[in-house]
Amino acid sequence: GENVEQHPSTLSVQEGDSAVIKCTYSDSASNYFPWYKQELGKRPQLIIDIRSNVGEKKDQRIAVTLNKTAKHFSLHITETQPEDSAVYFCAATRGSNDYKLSFGAGTTVTVRA
């Protein structure tokens, strides 16, 4: 099955700096890669996603890049703000009637004011 590894496990950044989280996956058939943000006591919230036919996608301060050859994808948060503090999870799935999400272990991001 799919194995998703996520690094780092914790990340502390100064407000205004950038944060980068990296994930690798093992199943070459995976073609959809979402990122979820989970604040303490809340549900995971889909913040951005990318499909395998796209190399990069951006939404305001967040962006995701995908390298299918190397089987890794990354989340980039620019101009971090205190409200960006949360646990971030990457995931991968084949899609196409197989929507099982395989998650990374999560990255706890702390933005220091």
Partner 1 sequence: KAGVTQTPRYLIKTRGQQVTLSCSPISGHRSVSWYQQTPGQGLQFLFEYFSETQRNKGNFPGRFSGRQFSNSRSEMNVSTLELGDSALYLCASSRPSYEQYFGPGTRLTVT
Interface residues toward partner 1, by CB under 8 A: 32, 34, 36, 42-46, 49, 51, 89, 91, 93, 95, 97-106
Indicate the residue among 22 and 78 with the shorter CB distance to partner 1: 22
The Cα–Cα gap between 13 and 110 comes to 6
Query: Taking the complex as a whole, how short is the minimal distance between the CB of residue 21 and partner 1, in angstroms?
Result: 15
**How many residues are present in the chain?**
113
Phi and psi angles of residue 87, each rounded to the nearest 5 degrees, phi first: -100, 130
Indicate the residue among 66 and 80 with the shorter CB distance to partner 1: 66
The Cα–Cα gap between 44 and 35 comes to 9
Indicate the residue among 4 and 80 with the shorter CB distance to partner 1: 4
What's the one-letter identity of residue 97? N
Query: Taking the complex as a whole, how short is the minimal distance between the CB of residue 112 and partner 1, in angstroms?
Result: 24
